[in-house]
Amino acid sequence: MSLSRRQLLHAAGAASLGAATTQRLHRRSAAAQTAGDKEPVTIQFWTHDQNYIDFFTARAAELTESPDSPYAYELNITQAPSADIITKAVAAYSAGRGIPDTVGIEISQFSRFMQRGVAEQTLLDLTDRVAELRDQFFESRWAPYTVDGRVYAVESGYPLSVYYYRQDLLDEYGVETPLETWDQVMQIGREVVVPQGKAMAAISTTGGQGGGDITQFGLLFQQRGGTFFDAAGNLTLDTPEAVEVAELLATGLQEGTILGLTDFYGGPGAAAMQQGATVGYFMPDWFETYVLQPTVPDQEGLWRIQPLPAFAGGGSRTSVWGGTGFAVSRDSPVAEATWELLRYGYLTRDGQIKRWQEIKYLPTMAEVWDDPALTGPDPFLGGQEAGQVYKELAPTAPTQYQSPFWNQLTVELAGQLAELYNGRTSPADAIKNAAAAIQAEMG
């Protein structure tokens, strides 16, 4: 989870930590400027993702023009990779100066605000502010940004996971879709697809000191019904479900039904897509827009999505992986204006629809899923109505609970998974060893 797709896509062009890009919004109506009835507000807006810059720039312009808003907005934007932007924010909070008014906290980084009361001391408590709206949204997307029952950030999307597959290749091999179970996927892989020189899916096999990518394991573990931590923050990794998922992935790598990639998002991953080395992937919704489409535009129309194949032992047909929560700094001098921008963008029906239309992040507001804006054919998916697939899965998605020790989990688990994938340990030992190391750090 240390690798977010937003970081991967935007890090190369991100500003250095000492630099900021200023976007001036001088689109106030002439009447407002003349009457002077708008309060000028400059918001220090920190994020790792250009998509959020584009989205909130548009919302700020709308509010500036709106007769219902008392503010004329200007965004002063700082952009950097997700881990770096939070390091800079924490340093600013500690120093008591140069703080952001709002900051986008990538989900794997929020654990840094759960330690020693950092969230309470630095972020605006949104619990009461969202109380009347909370039940309109999927509860599972409040949980990752909650500390001691208090909400400190608002989620930017709903990263529902599905199985992406090449319809043309499976048709060529005589494989009927959709694929119903993971047992079926593995059997088809062994008997039909591997003999064609291809895999059924691909995973990242990176690990070791400094962290690694646990995306595919975490995604399937949560689908199977597991959680890394429970709602109280207790480690819940060492379970039969975790061993089952680890065994599935390790067996797939050994048999060739799963392709191992040392750089899932870089050169090896791109080459695998371009060469058709695998007929499918199990990944979140953002995989299509931010990985598949830009990497293999010539494969438009060949791909489809379906619910994740089921585990025989139970679980969901979807999972979640990723997300970003936007928070308001508690001591911001423009906290109320900043909250109004965040509320308008993320906690209104129109804002949720515009977010989907403009930057393709799935809604977290339940009722929006019935809006016609979410329907319609997806050309890249051969005209399939992807929104309908996601709509049926949305109410069943698992909750991803957080912990102050999330980063330690990522490092230790990634290292053990790398040992497993390279045949140096067993599934049971990999999970047990990772859990023991994490628990030791938790004390």
Structure confidence by residue, pLDDT tens digits, 206-264: 865 555 789 999 999 999 999 999 999 999 999 999 999 999 999 999 999 999 999 99
The CATH code of domain 5-158+322-394 reads 3.40.190.10
What's the chain's average pLDDT?
91
- Whole-angstrom distance, CA of residue 325 vs CA of residue 327: 6
Domain ranges of the chain: 5-158+322-394, 161-319+405-442
Does the pLDDT at position 37 exceed 50? yes
pLDDT value for 36: 55
What residues contact 228, with CB distance under 8 A and at least 6 apart?
218, 221, 235, 236, 237, 401, 403, 406, 409
pLDDT at 212: 73
Fold match between 5-158+322-394 and 161-319+405-442? yes
d(CA 297, CA 49): 22
Q: What is the pLDDT of residue 317?
A: 98
Q: How would DSSP label each residue in 363-384?
A: P-BGGGGGSGGG-S-BGGGTTB
Sheet strands (E) in 205-323: 258-261, 280-284, 303-306
Tens digits of residue pLDDT in 151-199: 999 999 999 999 999 999 999 999 999 999 999 999 999 999 999 999 9
Higher pLDDT, 122 or 20: 122
pLDDT tens, residue by residue, 75-90 = 999 999 999 999 999 9
> Of 55, 51, 138, 133, which is closest to residue 364 (Cα–Cα)?
138
pLDDT digits (tens, 9 = 90+) for 329-361: 999 999 999 999 999 999 999 999 999 999 999
Assess contact for 324 and 199: CB atoms under 8 A.
no
pLDDT of residue 132: 96
Kindly tell me the sign of the dihedral angle through the C-alpha atoms of 95, 120, 409, 106: negative
Is domain 161-319+405-442 in CATH 3.40.190.10, yes or no? yes
- For the chain, the C-alpha Rg in angstroms (whole number) is 22
DSSP tag of 300: T
pLDDT at 211: 56
**Does residue 267 carry a pLDDT above 50?**
yes
Strands 39-47 and 280-284: what pairing? unpaired
Cα angle, residue 60 at apex, residues 118 and 378 outer, rounded to 5° = 95
pLDDT score, position 3: 39
Question: What does the DSSP 8-state code read for residue 46?
Answer: E
CA distance 161 to 221: 12
**CA triplet 267, 269, 270: central angle to 5 degrees?**
65
